[in-house]
Structure 1
Amino acid sequence: MENIKCVIVDDEPLAIEILQAYVEKAPWLDCIATFDSGIDAITFLNNNPVDLLFLDIQMPDLTGIQLAEHIKGKCDIVFTTAYHEYAIEGFELEAMDYLLKPISFDRFLRSAQRAQRQNEKPTLEATDYIFVKSEYKIKKIELADILYIEGMKDYLRIVTKQEKVMTLQSFSKLVPVLPPSKFVRVHKSFVIALDAIDSVEKSKIKVADQLIPISESYRETFFEIIQRKAV
């Protein structure tokens, strides 16, 4: 299994140094970037694959809570703060953990081990379908029938050739089980089936009767895929 790519965001240089030293002691973690500003971190997180974010809450300009709302679903988050009163907000944002400063190495290690367990997912067998929870039942959806998937706050709407299925799910959980040769994310709110594309014009993709936007964050990857398939 590849190491977990993590990023540290904290406006205190000493806090960053401590977390970097802790990360170096956990061989399954790789710190690929650090930031003392939430605004600077957003650009990086929107354009680079990250597995785990160690995120301070009390920061100027953009708080950790606000940053987490901006990147929701992109990676696991461990909040780091000196203020315990933010714990409820942190867990409402589905944070993986909440570390109270000063952070001991023992407490950090338990959080890092939790991240390791979450990333030790068994290899998925190639299948032609997925199962999702929808209302009070578990529904089987054939991958070949999916046109696109739209994120709607805490829900995903899976649009197929036959119907629309709402499921309480996140892209971070669903995307890894979709074959990358068949599906591509083109926007923070949209994943499309490549076979379902009718046309592409500028920043829009036509799938069935729907025009789907291509965001700057996913534009380069999408057009690279399209170029490989062009004749």
Structure 2
Amino acid sequence: MKEKRIIRCVITDDEPLAGQGLLGYAKQTGFLDVVAVCEDALQLNTVLKEQPVDLLFLDIEMPYISGIEFLKNFPNPPRVIFTTAYERYALQGFELDVLDYLVKPIPLERFLKAANKAYDFFSAQEVDAAQFCFIRTGNKLEKVLFQDILFAEALENYVAIYTADRKIVTHATLKSVQEMLPSRIFVQPHKSYLVSIPHVSAIEGNILHVGKHEIPVSKYQKEEVLEKIVSNRVLKK
């Protein structure tokens, strides 16, 4: 029997009733372990210095420091689900790569959907971290973790595979590389490219921003590609 993944989380909300309501929801999931309930970012800062945390349920408009400012300035923060009474911060939430954005009052079914999204995210991280391949380059085989690959680019009879710190060129076709990579994570926006969805930092017209690189999106594949990348991660008005 597969062991259940427990997610250590902190709830931060300056309204005590709202915080307790989220705590009650979390207890019903069976996989969210709430290690603290904080009333402002200062309390949260103290908690994060004292113990490891996977996930934050973070209110935005709070005294002293807003949830957005805290997230921007805390080094290597945990993953975040925003909880707020205001929809106007949705774009900033997307730019900060939060897992979800919950608008108060938050029904249990909507909270559960966000919690399940977090569960899937952390479960996928555990699986992907153990997945790798060996790329033949010259006379050696180089080990590459799937989670480290930013994108792959076809170069005539070769394929260049880019990570954050290296470029590996191998004699192969883009199709053979695509068959080796998990389709859940990688998408083909153009006939010459494969892109890691988690590494897409922005979408601008027909361009995907991946690290410091700009990857073109074919106009014939744009709708399908954007649907796979964005999925249900953009809030609608």
Do they superpose with TM above 0.5?
yes
Counterpart in the other structure of 1:99: 102
Counterpart in the other structure of 1:109: 112
Structure 2 Cα separation of the partners of residues 126 and 110 of structure 1 = 30
Q: Which runs of 5+ in 1 are unaligned?
A: 143-153, 155-166, 170-231
- Residue 133 of structure 1 aligns with an amino acid whose one-letter code is L
- Summarize the alignment of residues 175-194 of structure 1 with structure 2, pairs less than 5 Å apart: none
Counterpart in the other structure of 1:45: 48
Counterpart in the other structure of 1:200: none
1:42 offset after TM fit, Å? 1.4
Q: Using a 3 Å threshold, how does the CA distance of structure 1 residues 23 and 132 change in structure 2: closer, same or farther? A: same
- Residue 168 of structure 1 aligns with an amino acid whose one-letter code is G
2:135 matches 1:118: no
Counterpart in the other structure of 1:168: 211
Q: Using a 3 Å threshold, how does the CA distance of structure 1 residues 125 and 133 change in structure 2: closer, same or farther? A: closer
Deviations 1:30-60 (A, max 9, x none): 1011110101211322442111100000001
Structure 2 Cα separation of the partners of residues 59 and 30 of structure 1 = 23
Could you say what the CA RMSD is over the residues aligned between the two structures, in angstroms? 2.8
Tell me which of 121, 136, 150 is aligned to 1:133: 150
Secondary structure, in 3 states, of the residue corresponding to 1:110? helix
Secondary structure, in 3 states, of the residue corresponding to 1:95? coil
- Residue 96 of structure 2 aligns with an amino acid whose one-letter code is L
1:28 offset after TM fit, Å? 1.1
User: CA contact under 8 A between 2:152 and 2:162: conserved in structure 1?
Assistant: no
Secondary structure, in 3 states, of the residue corresponding to 2:53? coil
Deviations 1:49-81 (A, max 9, x none): 111100000001000001111236431101011
User: CA contact under 8 A between 1:134 and 1:168: conserved in structure 2?
Assistant: no
Counterpart in the other structure of 2:59: 56
2:22 matches 1:19: yes
- Residue 36 of structure 1 aligns with an amino acid whose one-letter code is E
Q: Using a 3 Å threshold, how does the CA distance of structure 1 residues 125 and 81 change in structure 2: closer, same or farther? A: closer
Over alpha carbons, which structure has the higher Rg? Answer: 2
Equivalenced residues, count: 147
2:81 matches 1:78: yes
Q: Which runs of 5+ in 2 are unaligned?
A: 134-142, 154-159, 167-198, 200-209, 213-237
Structure 1 Cα separation of the partners of residues 161 and 77 of structure 2 = 25
Tell me which of 31, 40, 60 is aligned to 2:34: 31
- Residue 91 of structure 1 aligns with an amino acid whose one-letter code is F
Q: What is the aligned-residue identity percentage?
A: 36
TM-score, structure 2 as length reference = 0.55
